[in-house]
Structure 1
Amino acid sequence: MDRVHLIICLLGACVNVCECEPAMFGEVSSPQYPQPYPANIQKQWDLEVPQGYQLQLTFNHLDIESSPDCYYDSVTVVSDKKVLGKFCGQNSTDKFHPGDKPILAPGNRLQLVFLTDDSNHESHLGFTAFFQAVDIDECSSSSVENGPPCSQICLNTLGSYLCACYHGYTLRWDTVQIVNINRMQ
């Protein structure tokens, strides 16, 4: 009996102390899913994937009371205080239902905010969603603000990039340092 208590205490302490690397993927669901969700709740999830990746969220199932502008019950997807979507409804033909289209965050973090009131007279199941890390193509022109990161050849790698040169050229020392700094972050 004492051993079980000791193990539980150790596991609890380990979880509280652990500063783990963010997950590459995961799943999140509304309270009590797949049972109907309760009334009058506000729940928030802070999702994060490792630095150098974007977070992609896909709703596997969404059944939230439908209302104009999702006024009564909703799940809201937020990135850096910007609302990427506010969703409710039961099927993909509903105006505020995300369907099966993934939501791609501009960075590696997202917040989900689930709000319900007490006006729901029917049972709704809520939602379940899958999130995953998606590699950022640092070499593409759409992801680079100040032009290409490399002067000649940019090689996209998982979580970073490498600069290379055409035959007969050499890489400048400051460019090598920038790549190494990016890899350490």
Structure 2
Amino acid sequence: IDGIELLFVSRFLHVLVCECVPLLDSGQIHSPQCPQLYPVNLQKQWEISVPDGFQINLTFTHVDIKSSITVRVLHDEKVLGKFCGNENSADGRHPGYQPILSPGSRLTLKIQLSDYNPDRNQNVGFSAQYQAIDIDECSAPEPEDGSGPLCSQICLNTLGSYRCACHHGYGLRSDQRTCMCKFGECRGRFSGASKISF
């Protein structure tokens, strides 16, 4: 969904701006007014989504944020990164140029500015780029719920998904995951799982 949503926080009389980034394979995000000085008392949130079957690779290309201001990168409310400062500072509280990889197809980026004095601010904010990266479902560990591997014999990773296949003499059952012997010709044959990525 494209658009901007305004949520009013009555306790502090701040405006939280939520920008929904369109469903794209890649894009750029930057703090408001970047590379100019950022505005007073801003709280902004970006919701980044890529197609299902992909994860998000987020790389900050410029960071120049007052040390009392926090930028957080979240996936399902779990903090993947939290930083402030300048990319050239020695305090290490900035992401540098190391990418942040989300475990799924959605990511939230939040910036909260408070106790801001525009007369003393010389910071311009941040800029970042994101890219959709294919998830290799076939290389994922087996689920702990006891459901077994994705495919009983051969898992074929495809762009944004996967599909199952069977060894010669076996056919795929209607669940599209497990293989069964065709016409009784499989006695003593291998039936273990294999993984293939394209």
TM-score by length of 2: 0.71
Q: Deviations over 1:132-174 (max 9, x none)?
A: 11111110134x4244200111010001101111122221122
Answer yes or no: is the 8 Å Cα contact 1:152–1:165 preserved in 2.
Answer: yes
Quote the residue 2:84 is aligned against.
88
Answer yes or no: is the 8 Å Cα contact 2:31–2:126 preserved in 1.
Answer: yes
CA distance in 1, matches of 2:110, 2:162: 34
Q: Deviations over 1:53-112 (max 9, x none)?
A: 11121101111112xxxxx21211111111112111112643211011111111111111
CA apart distance, 1:122: 3.5
CA distance in 1, matches of 2:157, 2:58: 23
CA distance in 2, matches of 1:21, 1:112: 14
SS of the residue 1:162 aligns to: strand
CA distance in 2, matches of 1:51, 1:115: 29
CA distance in 2, matches of 1:33, 1:43: 13
Change (3 A) 1:91 1:21: closer
Answer yes or no: is the 8 Å Cα contact 1:54–1:107 preserved in 2.
Answer: yes
Compare 110-119 and 42-51 and name the one that shifted more. Answer: 110-119
RMSD: 2.2
Quote the residue 1:28 is aligned against.
29
CA distance in 2, matches of 1:127, 1:81: 21
Quote the residue 2:189 is aligned against.
none
**Structure 2, unaligned stretches of length 5 or more?**
4-20, 179-198
CA apart distance, 1:113: 0.8
Higher Rg: 2
**Residue identity in the other structure for 2:38:** Y
Quote the residue 2:160 is aligned against.
159
CA apart distance, 1:35: 0.9
Change (3 A) 1:21 1:115: closer
Quote the residue 2:126 is aligned against.
127
Answer yes or no: is the 8 Å Cα contact 1:141–1:148 preserved in 2.
Answer: no
SS of the residue 2:176 aligns to: helix
1:137-152 equivalences in 2 (<5 Å)? 137-142=136-141, 144-145=142-143, 146-152=147-153
TM-score by length of 1: 0.75
Q: Once the two structures are aligned, what percentage of the paired residues are identical?
A: 53
Q: Deviations over 1:10-45 (max 9, x none)?
A: xxxxx77xxx97111111100110111122111111
Quote the residue 2:75 is aligned against.
79
1:99 aligns with 2:96: yes
SS of the residue 1:32 aligns to: coil
